[in-house]
Amino acid sequence: MTTGHIFIAQSLDGFIARPDHGLDWLMKFQVEDDDNGYGDFISSMDCIVMGRGSFLNVLSFGEWPYELPVIVLSNTLSQNDIPENIADKVILSQLSPPELMGMLTDLGWNRAYIDGGQVIQSFLRDDLIDDMVLTQIPILIGKGIRLFGELDRDVDLLHMDTSSAPSGLVSSFYKVVKKPLVLTN
């Protein structure tokens, strides 16, 4: 079964983007020659799954940054919304998270980078995340799009490692403790 993995940065007050999807507060912490482990992470993935919000924001940057196949979850976008130059790199899907993971398994894509706020929340709710690298950016932005949301149960995390960079970024690696299977007759 394909496993889900998160690599994401949030402001110290828990936001991944401004209300208008702005990422300027994050960009200003980018340091040349230090990718905060992103290169190693992405090279261990087989595909990227993101929601419409993240996809449209990436499109607004101009240059398509991904070499891996990207699956965009959306119930509102159509193939016409995918620019022609990336049409062979993007798969539009309306599948539920469990159905999508089943499709990725059939494709032989074992490790999926799960990205985007709402999409991460729904994969967490469905217990489809194995681990996460969470980078705290030393800034408070006060409002915006939250990384985590409501859950109908606790998600236990196992802290594996934390490192800090001179820029003030603090990155922690957590494994998600999978909920035990409950067998009923």
Ligand X SMILES: NC(=O)c1ccc[n+]([C@@H]2O[C@H](COP(=O)([O-])OP(=O)(O)OC[C@H]3O[C@@H](n4cnc5c(N)ncnc54)[C@H](OP(=O)(O)O)[C@@H]3O)[C@@H](O)[C@H]2O)c1
Q: Which residues bind ligand X (CB under 6 A)?
A: 8-9, 16-17, 21, 26, 50-54, 57, 73-77, 97, 115-119, 122, 145
Angle subtended by helix axes 97-107 and 117-125, to nearest 10: 90
CB neighbour class for 65 (10 Å; exposed up to 12, middle 13-18, buried from 19): exposed
Nearer to ligand X, 50 or 176 (CB): 50
Kindly state the smallest distance separating residue 46's Cβ from ligand X, in Å: 18
129 beta partners: 4
- Which residue number, 4 or 51, has a Cβ lying nearer to ligand X? 51
The first and second tokens of residue 124, run together, are 């967490």
Shortest CB 73 distance to ligand X, Å: 4
CB of 151 to ligand X, least distance (A): 14
Residue closer to ligand X (CB basis): 3 or 118 = 118
Query: Is 138:169 a contact under the CB 8 Å cutoff?
Result: yes
Complex with ligand X: residue 46 or 126, whichever CB lies closer: 126
CB of 129 to ligand X, least distance (A): 13
Closer by beta carbon to ligand X, 55 or else 109: 55
DSSP code per residue over 81-113? GS-GGGTTTEEEE---HHHHHHHHHHHT--EEE
Minimum distance from residue 17 beta carbon to ligand X (Å) = 4
Nearby residues of 36 by Cβ (< 8 Å), 6 or more positions away: 135, 165, 169, 171
